[in-house]
A = this chain, B = another copy of it.
């Protein structure tokens, strides 16, 4: 079992802040992911991205690779889709982190920060239209050029929990 440490800075632009804890990651991954497309957004720099996806009404496009485009049949009937994408600029070794806008250290799995062992982000996006291999959506917050790894239909019956609470966040606002 590797030791925790708080002084490793694999990517200098994402340094360790007070209260943050970095771990050694395994030498080899367990499985591999394919990039199946690219997401195009208006945001070219991290600091320009909306802090959360509902903050912006920007129309973004999702370009699915030609090879995978047949998989879109039926997606045009969905009002909303779940997009999974790979945050390749995020560090993967933080188990405790201190988001700038909160200022308090929290466990990685209680946050939606892109920095996590598997830097897979998830957004529920409103689907405007599908044209060939291109989806137009509202509700993303990622950098232009982000790699897409999955598109799923959003089923309100299993995915919508309007009364769900994230206690630490509610307490913060309350």
Query: At the interface, yes or no: A12 with Cβ under 8 Å from chain B?
Result: no
Q: Report how many copies the assembly holds.
A: 2
**Prevailing SS type, chain A contact patch:** mixed
Question: Is the beta-carbon distance between A120 and B84 smaller than 8 angstroms?
Answer: yes
Residue interface bits A132-166, CB-to-B below 8 A is 1, else 0? 00000001000000010111111111111111111
Q: How large is the interface on A (under 10, 10 to 19, 20 to 34, 35 or more residues)?
A: 35 or more
Known pairs A26-B34, A168-B74; A156 contacts B162 (CB<8 A):
yes
Residues of B within 8 A of A64 (CB): 109
Residues of B within 8 A of A29 (CB): 31-34
Residues of B within 8 A of A118 (CB): 33-34, 36, 84, 149-150
Question: Is the beta-carbon distance between A77 and B110 smaller than 8 angstroms?
Answer: yes
- Which A residues fall within an 8 A CB radius of B? 1-2, 4, 21, 23, 25-26, 28-36, 52-54, 64, 66-82, 84, 86, 88, 92, 95-96, 106-112, 116-118, 120, 122-124, 126, 139, 147, 149-169, 171
